[in-house]
Amino acid sequence: MNKYLKLFWIFFRVGAFTFGGGYAMIPIIEKEIVEKENLIVAEEFIDIIAVSQSLPGPIAVNTTIFVGYKLMGILGAIAALIGTVLPSFLVIIILAVFYNQIKDIQAIQLFFKGVRPAIVSLVFMSALKLGNAIEKKTFNYILMIAAFFAIVILKIHPIFTIIGCAVAGLIFTRRKEKENGIS
């Protein structure tokens, strides 16, 4: 199979079978790209997630573009992006056409109520898997706790929290390098 078509198909499946988008797609992308296809290692995937989170736009789309680009350049990014968004685009078009006929159907409403807890569990699983891939160092635990505290308790915007953690990581790494005589 053409490598671009294969990449498209991987991300088409992700886009077609993930409800909730965004963070709910991350564990599915990870399962396909890191675990099933072995195209990227877990540490690299975490770096992609960090960068994707820092940029404007939906994290799943940003992640898709980064993975596609990393694997196959610009055409890979385009193939992965189209694969991810095409299922949602088609469903939205179909729903828009038939919305007035289906909006009051009890089964449709129950379906969406049932999907919500599954989305929460996918986001939770994503957090657990990403947390497991982080090096088990005291500094990393301190950063995780500080970031959680900053976002949940102090209500600091996640972008500022990410920037703060990045700066703290840079400073910490530079100090460690100086202590070890590495320049």
Give the number of other Cβ atoms within 10 Å of residue 4's Cβ.
Answer: 18
pTM over 0.85: no
Please state the domain extents for the chain: 3-134, 135-183
Mark 52-76 as b/e (b = at least 16 C-beta within 10 Å). Answer: beeeeebbbbbbbbbbbbbbbeeeb
Cβ proximity of 67 and 33 under 8 Å? yes
**Beta strands in the chain, from DSSP E residues, in sequence order:** none
User: Please, is 87 exposed, middle or buried when counting C-beta atoms within 10 Å of its C-beta (0-12, 13-18, 19+)?
Assistant: middle
Q: In the predicted model, what is the mean pLDDT of the chain?
A: 87
- pLDDT tens, position by position, 115-150: 888 878 877 877 787 777 778 889 988 998 999 999
Rounded to 5 degrees, what are φ and ψ at 136?
Answer: -85, 80
> CA-CA distances (angstroms) from residue 71 to 8, 135, 160?
12, 25, 30
- Return the pLDDT at 40: 92
Residues with Cβ < 8 Å from 13, sequence gap 6 or more? 32
More confident residue, 39 or 20: 39
- Return the pLDDT at 24: 78
Instruction: Decide if pLDDT at 171 tops 90.
Output: yes
Give the number of other Cβ atoms within 10 Å of residue 182's Cβ.
Answer: 9
* Token pair belonging to 24: 């709910």
- pLDDT tens, position by position, 20-35: 667 778 888 988 999 8
